[in-house]
Structure 1
Amino acid sequence: MDIEQFKASLEEKGITLTDRQLDQFQIYFETLVEWNEKMNLTAITEKHEVYLKHFYDSIAASFYFDFTKPFHLCDVGAGAGFPSIPLKIVYPHIEVTIVDSLNKRISFLNHLATVLKLDNVHFVHDRAETFGVNPSYREAFDVVTARAVARMSVLSELCLPLVKVGGTFIAMKAAHAQDELGTGQKAITTLGGKVEKVFTFTLPLEESERNILIIKKEKQTPKKYPRKPGTPGKSPIE
């Protein structure tokens, strides 16, 4: 996906990027490639692939959920900033908090926010399990996103404790999301969530499957969740 295709594909979805936003994506790409030589941020470094598989794919969350209103979004395990930083570029009025367990990635994100001149972005070095029991963050966010971090039964325990009652958890998945939902349903319900909608689409040009799961937080998460670091992955709620 070249820049013109990127711009045109988003226009088809009703999103018109300004020159400033297009510049920000160019700076994002250059910074990602530069820092990737020093640390492992992504295996995808070809420009056309970054624009399709990272930038467009991240923005796709806004095709199925309303990002035009101001809200506070928490991105769990965002790595190099996906999906929240592309979403922040397109929707500058949202507030973003990223939690990631690797300090090197937090250093990259701090630098990225500076060069992109982003405001209202916060980066926290922590494990999702300990972040989720911190009273400052627990049930504090309107929207929580996660992109390809872990299977749904595990991901729900890392993300749903952070969502306000009445808020939304957006899980971004590749193929086989329906299978994951089958095994993850118990965890979602236990943690206070309810699957509202599942949207399946294909990425333009390469036609690979993507799924966006919209999960509503209906009731408070029981105090015992999330469990201590490592436990959700070892013994998921299933």
Structure 2
Amino acid sequence: MLESLLHGARQLGLAITPEQARQFQLYYEELVEWNKRVNLTAITGYEEVQIKHFLDALTLITALEDTPWAKGDFTLIDVGSGAGVPGIPLKIVLSNARVVLLDSVAKKTAFLQHAVKSLGLGNVEVVTARAEELAHQSAYRQTFDLAVCRAVSKLATIAELTLPFCQNGGLVIVPKKGQIDEELAQAAKAIDILGGRSKEVKNIHFKGLEQHCLVVLEKVTPTPPRYPRRPGMPEKRPIS
């Protein structure tokens, strides 16, 4: 059971406990069942989910090496959480983390609520809202250590939807595929305006996750009050 996940986790230096394995197995079963009526993911095969959802999420932990949060004592917001990836796999393994799963689609957050309860995950809040609006609420703005986003969008768009949530010194971690240099260069102005800087790009070397990398941004100054702009604008007109 979960051989690919367990093997990959060992390569990352992670020891999955029997209880965590039980949670991952149940998460898979609930995901596949709910996906029959809610469009959560196109990836449903047992092996594929282990590699392209669970392990892909856990690779984000490599970006926390040599940071104060390496052992999981942090606040994290998963922007556009969808099926709960990467937020739920990270929470399963780093149980001390305090996590917010954010999505604008009520059917998806209904699944997230169900999954969190079924898996017995504490210190997890599920929020149904647009990132562009939630980031202007004082309870969420510039309060998180980490923000993650797996959305298939331009990096400038993702920066506008994530950096406003991070406190100074916090990190944004964005999984990407393929060559990232040009996209990172195009997003440089947006990242700077939003109070961030490019910290590093970590290449991921895993079978099944070829050409994957993690773009890590650091929050260095407060985000100007006007950002993020109104819903839809970061996607429609990225800062350039």
When normalised by structure 1's length, the TM-score is 0.96
Give the C-alpha shift of residue 234 in structure 1: 1.5
Matches within 5 A, 1:1-238: 3-66=2-65, 67-204=70-207, 206=208, 208-238=210-240
Report Cα offsets for 1:65-103 as digits up to 9, x if no partner.
Answer: 144141110010010001010000011010100111101
Give the C-alpha shift of residue 207 in structure 1: 5.0
Q: % of aligned pairs identical?
A: 39
Classify the secondary structure of the residue corresponding to 1:33: helix
RMSD: 1.2
Report Cα offsets for 1:87-123 as digits up to 9, x if no partner.
Answer: 0001101010011110111100000011100000001
- Which residue identity does 2:151 align to in structure 1? A
Output the CA distance in 1 between the equivalents of 2:151 and 2:175: 6
Give the C-alpha shift of residue 227 in structure 1: 0.5
Q: Which moved more, 1:81-90 or 1:170-179?
A: 170-179
CA contact (8 A) 1:153 1:237 kept: yes
Output the CA distance in 1 between the equivalents of 2:83 and 2:4: 23
CA contact (8 A) 2:63 2:173 kept: no
Give structure 1 stretches of 5+ with no counterpart.
Answer: none
Give the C-alpha shift of residue 51 in structure 1: 0.3
CA contact (8 A) 2:157 2:238 kept: yes
CA contact (8 A) 1:148 1:174 kept: no
Give the C-alpha shift of residue 171 in structure 1: 1.1
CA contact (8 A) 1:97 1:121 kept: yes
Report Cα offsets for 1:37-77 as digits up to 9, x if no partner.
Answer: 01100000000000000000000000221441411100100
Give structure 2 stretches of 5+ with no counterpart.
Answer: none
Report Cα offsets for 1:152-194 as digits up to 9, x if no partner.
Answer: 0111111000100111111111223222101111100110001
Q: Which moved more, 1:141-150 or 1:24-33?
A: 141-150
Output the CA distance in 1 between the equivalents of 2:209 and 2:149: 22
Question: Relative to structure 1, is the Cα distance of residues 7 and 95 closer, same or farther in structure 2, using a 3 angstrom cutoff?
Answer: same
Output the CA distance in 2 between the equivalents of 1:83 and 1:207: 15
Report Cα offsets for 1:198-235 as digits up to 9, x if no partner.
Answer: 0112332x352111011110000011110111111111
Output the CA distance in 2 between the equivalents of 1:101 and 1:203: 31
Classify the secondary structure of the residue corresponding to 2:163: helix
Runs of 4+ in 1 over 6 A off after TM superposition: none
Count of aligned residue pairs for this structure pair: 236
Give the C-alpha shift of residue 12 in structure 1: 2.2
Report Cα offsets for 1:111-148 as digits up to 9, x if no partner.
Answer: 00111000000011000100111111110111101113
Output the CA distance in 2 between the equivalents of 1:132 and 1:207: 31
- Which residue identity does 2:107 align to in structure 1? K
Classify the secondary structure of the residue corresponding to 1:225: coil
Q: Which moved more, 1:28-37 or 1:133-142?
A: 133-142
